[in-house]
Amino acid sequence: MDIQIQWFPGHMAKARRQVQEALKLVDVAVELLDARIPLSSENPMIGQILGNKPRVIILNKSDLADPGLTKAWQKKLERDQVKVIAVDTLKGEGLKEVPKAANLLVAEQMAKLAAKGRRARAARCMVLGIPNVGKSSFINRLVGRRATKTGDLPGVTKGQQWIRLEGSLELLDTPGILWPKFEDPQVGFKLAVTGAVKEQVFDVYEVALKLLQWLVETNPEKIKERYRLTDLNPDRVGLLSDIGARRGMLVSGGAVDELKAAHLILKEFREGTLGRYTLDLPR
């Protein structure tokens, strides 16, 4: 079943123009991807905008992704002028590698400036990514203080802000940017289940059913264990109803509130309660 999902608010078009204008001010781009969906969370417009600009790719939320597949993605994505770092922002894992990688990428450029008699300065980095990939939380943890407004909803950061990381980097925070049309319905689905698009713009029930089917095919024992089910109903609608019933999600008359159960599936997947999964596989 294909699920068509599109979301491109007006402020994202404005943000794209702001990024293009600010690009000449920065030395290196720091692009955050969701480690669970490195391919689907990579905005093709960002690649077009950045061109050959040196780049540090952050595989964020690596604590929620399959560790082996995260390593495979690191190997696949790293290339000349591109460094790839797996980061768990909550625990701070991988963050110390970011300034090192950024400064390494711009070392030659800085040496040329020094040779011309220019005063030494911190490397300037632009932080980019789609909504809800964790940019603000990443910056706050990297800087070591609450430097930007954060939230768990897509599109919290509306403007651009410069943040100084003492001694080594200057960071330019930018709003999350999606692209106007998801050509592949699977991309829209993966962005929905990981929380990159607002739930108001897609059918939560249908997306949860599709996710549940994928989880059953991927790790059925985990579903049994989590929801205390002896057997898994082969019908996914029936299975969702069984899960809702086990959790006491009932309405008057004893019927199961299936929409509430659908929200539960999405929530527990996003929190990692159902396991560590990577939906995009390296090709």
Residue 168 is labelled as binding a ligand: no
Q: Say if strands 28-34 and 161-165 run parallel, antiparallel, or are unpaired.
A: unpaired
Does 61 carry a binding-site annotation? yes
Determine if residue 62 is labeled as part of a ligand binding site. yes
Q: Is 132 annotated as a binding residue?
A: yes
Q: Could you tell me what percentage of the chain is helix, strand and coil, using 3-state DSSP and rounding each to the nearest 5?
A: 45, 15, 40
Q: Which two tokens stand for residue 258?
A: 């299936």
Taken in order 258, 259, 265, 268, the sign of the CA dihedral is: negative
**How many angstroms separate the CA atoms of 85 and 63, rounded?**
13
Distance between CA atoms of 8 and 130, rounded to whole angstroms? Answer: 11
H/E/C letters for each residue in 36-89?
A: CCCCCCCCHHHHHHHCCCCEEEEEECHHHCCHHHHHHHHHHHCECCEEEEECEC
Dihedrals φ, ψ of 171, to 5°? -110, 135
Lookup result for tokens 């960002």:
46
136 is in an annotated binding site: yes
Distance CA 155, CA 109 (A): 33
Q: How many Å apart are CA 61 and CA 142, to the nearest integer?
A: 14
| Owner of token pair 């190997």 | 75
Pick out the residues of the known binding site for GTP: 60-63, 132-137, 176
Pick out the residues of the known binding site: 60-63, 132-137, 176
